[in-house]
Structure 1
Amino acid sequence: MRIGIDCRILRQGQVTGIPNYVRNLTSELKKLETKHEFVFFDGPKGGVPFWSNHVSYAKQIEKARLDLFHGPANTSPFFYKGKSIVTIHDLAIYKHPEWFPRGQWLATKVVVPNSIRKADRIIVPSEATKRDVQELFGIRDEKIAVIAEGVESRFFEKSAISDDKFQISKKYILFVGTLEPRKNLKRVIEAYEGLPAGLRNEYELWVAGKKMENVKIKMQNDNAKSKIRFLGYVPDSELPGLYQNAAVFVYPSLYEGFGLPVLEAMAGGTPTICSKQIVGNFKFQISNDKSEPFIAVDPESVEDLKNAMKRVLGDSQLAKQMGQKGVEMARRFTWERAARETMRVYEENWSK
């Protein structure tokens, strides 16, 4: 079988989010022992965007004489008519359009719906995204394959943190993510501001991530302001050390297609607080006992989040147990497994 994979998104040079998925998946697919042939496309460059991405690109793909084309970044070219698979990472823009003031009309109204409806199979990272695809587009159950993402091995390896760059003076609570409404940083800050003064004096709050234009960050507690550090974008190579040296990682996102940063933090043994929806994405039952590798919270409750922080920071034995359990849980999610399951989807559709 001759399989084409859309790698245009890798031109952005980013190694987070969807580019991270494409980079890791293609890397592991290359390692599989298979007689199938891969063609990795970076698409035409220049020109009018719609024509280049959907007309010229479709012609380029057709010339490659593929048996199957995979669009791993939510879309496939509008005018491509061959057999295709598309990965839908999440449908946040449909569920919460208020988080996306620019709207992305062409993608949401035309390109994504077209890609979903014409696809022979749809890959999603979680049952939550599967439900959204079914609810919004009426796709039948057997057309959707749930394939969880993986954690890179480097997140399990012990990593140092640059004292010169980060100027560590105190222990810290860590938040990592693009600073956009659904990541829920507002409530993380409110929860931190509500911690007892003794804990705020002992632990700073570090916020790592690129700020989006429509996000306004407000802090009410003047005493806490000096203890909240905005690091901006942190290179991917520095994330393992940043995770591993944190006292606790907090990620109470309001909506996630999967929630990979939670597993990346767990891989380094860092106790983690996350939203209940993310835990559901990992197919875990929540029992709230001390053997859990995380504390799952209601992401809309500042009180819930504050109490979870107090619980972890005030109980070193619990933090240690969570760290150990977290590593065990993260090891279940590998990119090799994701690649093998994706290949199985390719082969099932090739044989039809």
Structure 2
Amino acid sequence: MPKPLNIFVDCHVFDGSFQGTTTYLKGMYLEMLKDKSLNYYFAANDVQKIRSVFGEHDNVHYLKYSSHNKFYRLLIDIPRLIKANKIDFAHFQYIVPPIKNCRYINTIHDVLFLDYPNYFPLSYQIKNKWLFKWSAKKSDINLTVSEFSKLRIQKHFGLQDILITPNAVDPIYYESYDKAVFKQKVKQSYGLDRYWLYISRWEPRKNHDTLLKVFVENQFYKTFSLVFIGDKSIENNAYNAYYEALSEEIKSKILTLNKVDFQQLLTILRGADLSVYPTHAEGFGIPPLESIAAGIPTACSNTTAMQDFTFLKKNQFDPAEKENMATVIKQTLAENLDISIVEQLKMQYDWELSAQILLKAIKKQ
């Protein structure tokens, strides 16, 4: 009987708040670990947190990093753990360690900073162009999450052998629930009645400023509140300047939350009247899919990887056009969510399918 392969997964992203990479790793590996012919080693600083995500299984082991410093993690912690646990494959997001003691799997979710440089600091562009390309060249299996990202990585890095393992939606979003109960929970916790929701970290490309302008200039604040959930990544000065000039009455209808845990996020999502995703550019864009799965009317940008969301076409807008965004939002609010969209979503984006793509690639090596 062949010896089981040992798979190391760098889970340091779970030490922060939930984001696209945590969703990706959670969905992918909850499916993969069902394959008992492989052993999995999940590593992070907060071992208890990743243990709560992936659970207890005979083929799952948890490892703790000895430092929170990213350079120490890449240069010392990870190579040491890989060697000590006789790892065969190690999976990283974007950047791999320079000392290679096993075969590498690397997921580059996007290279938007190369196509939309105006949204990223110059230092970020210079550093990551080299690091991402170097990491991709050093890896044995390269993954990304959409056809759009695959084509852009091929163009910028000259790579051809890239597998697409699309994001999907956690089954919990599809669960039935009583809307009134969650609306009451949100009202008790945050004082909100009717509200829109935008889930995304803060960067200029995420377009919080245009959504705010649409909300204010069309007087949606007279009926709704606007809720932003996400941590600050890159400051959006256009948003800050516009917000500061608003009256106290309008400001009282805008709520910004960060460091929100998953259960809080799910509660707020289920109580929402509308989910909006107005970002200019994405390598994938999972929040609108999660809101559709939860039965929330959803309006979304029609650019970059989000062009693949064909089932959402009539609810998509040009993120640079305020009038178009306002029109689509009004239309989305006026209609009930078409249940057939949820079924199309289930068929097109499934973690089991993505996990099988990676498992097949590992077993071919």
Shorter-chain TM-score: which interval?
0.7 to 0.9
In structure 2, the residue matched to 1:2 is: 5
The corresponding residue for 2:191 is: 167
Q: CA deviation at 1:299?
A: 1.1
- Select the residue among 28, 37, 40 that pairs with 1:38: 40
Asked if 1 retains the 8 angstrom alpha-carbon contact of 2:203 and 2:233, the reply is yes
SS in 1 for 2:319: coil
**Dislocated runs of 4+, deviation >6 Å:** none
- In the alignment, which of 291, 294, 302 is matched to residue 276 of structure 1? 302
Give, in angstroms, the shift of residue 95 of structure 1.
3.0
Name the structure 1 match of 2:142: 122
CA contact (8 A) 1:54 1:78 kept: yes
Q: CA deviation at 1:340?
A: 2.0
Q: Would you say the 8 A contact 2:74–2:96 is kept in 1? A: no
Residue in 1 aligned with 2:342? Answer: 327
Q: Is the 8 A contact 1:62 1:80 kept in 2?
A: no
**What's the RMSD between the two structures over aligned residues?**
2.8
Matched, 1:234 2:252: no
Q: Is the 8 A contact 1:294 1:326 kept in 2?
A: no
Task: Report 1:157-196 matches (<5 A).
Answer: 157=175, 158=177, 160-161=182-183, 162=185, 163-168=187-192, 170-195=193-218
Give identity over the alignment, percent: 23
Q: Distance in 1 between matches of 2:96 and 2:78?
A: 10
Q: Tell me which moved more, 203-212 or 105-114.
A: 105-114
Please list, as runs of the form range in 1=range in 2, the aligned pairs for 1:237-252 lying within 5 A after superposition.
237-252=263-278
Displacement, 1:67?
Answer: 3.3
Corresponding position: 1:27 with 2:27:
no
Indicate conservation of the 8 Å contact 2:277/2:299, yes or no: yes
* 1:171-320 pair list within 5 angstroms: 171-195=194-218, 197=219, 199-212=220-233, 214-216=235-237, 217=240, 218-219=242-243, 222=247, 224-277=250-303, 280-281=305-306, 283-285=308-310, 292=312, 295-313=315-333, 315=334, 319-320=335-336
Displacement of 1:83 in angstroms is 2.5
Deviation at 1:107, TM superposition (A): 5.3
CA distance in 2, matches of 1:276, 1:203: 24
CA pair 211-177 structure 1, distance change in 2 beyond 3 A = same
Matched ranges for 1:65-104 at <5 A = 65-71=86-92, 73-80=93-100, 82-101=102-121, 103-104=123-124
Helix, strand or coil: the match of 2:90?
A: strand
- Displacement of 1:10: 4.5
Moved more, 37-46 or 74-83: 37-46
Residue of structure 2 in register with 1:289 after alignment: none
Cα drift, residue 320 of structure 1:
1.0
Structure 1 residues 88, 188: CA separation in 2 closer, same or farther (over 3 Å shift)?
Answer: same
State the shift of 1:54 in Å.
Answer: 2.5
Contact 1:125 1:148 in 2 (8 A): yes
- Which amino acid letter does the alignment assign opposite residue 79 of structure 1? I
- Structure 1 208/10 Cα, relative in aligned 2: closer, same or farther at 3 Å? closer
Q: Secondary structure at the match of 1:250?
A: strand
Paired with 1:111 and 1:234, the residues of 2 have a C-alpha distance of: 30
Deviation string, structure 1 residues 121-173 (Cα, Å, up to 9, x no partner): 21110011101211110101xx11111112111112226242221212x3112
Query: Does 1:156 find its partner at 2:182?
Result: no
Residue type matched to 2:189 in 1?
K
Contact kept? 2:65, 2:77, Cα under 8 Å: yes
Task: Report the residue type matching 1:167 in the other structure.
Answer: G
Q: Distance in 2 between matches of 1:84 and 1:119?
A: 5
> Aligned pair count?
331
Q: Identify if the C-alpha distance between structure 1 residues 201 and 150 changes in structure 2 by more than 3 Å, giving closer, same or farther.
A: same
Contact kept in structure 2, 1:54 and 1:80, CA below 8 Å: no
Q: TM-score, normalised by structure 1?
A: 0.83
Q: Residues 205 and 41 (structure 1 numbering): CA distance in 2 closer, same or farther, change over 3 Å?
A: closer
Could you list the per-position Cα deviations for residues 313-335 of structure 1 after superposition, in whole angstroms to 9, with x for gaps in the alignment?
Answer: 3x2xxx2144x234223323232
Q: Answer yes or no: is 1:15 the counterpart of 2:18.
A: yes
Deviation at 1:13, TM superposition (A): 4.4
Tell me, in whole angstroms, the C-alpha distance in 1 between the residues paired with 2:14 and 2:294.
29
**Offset at 1:267?**
0.7
| In 2: Cα distance, 1:56 partner to 1:234 partner | 29
* C-alpha displacement of 1:50: 3.1
Q: CA deviation at 1:76?
A: 1.8
Worse-matched range after superposition: 230-239 or 57-66: 57-66
Instruction: Report the Cα offset of residue 94 of structure 1.
Output: 3.0
Aligned mates of 1:85, 1:45 — CA distance in 2: 23
Q: Which amino acid aligns with 2:78?
A: Y
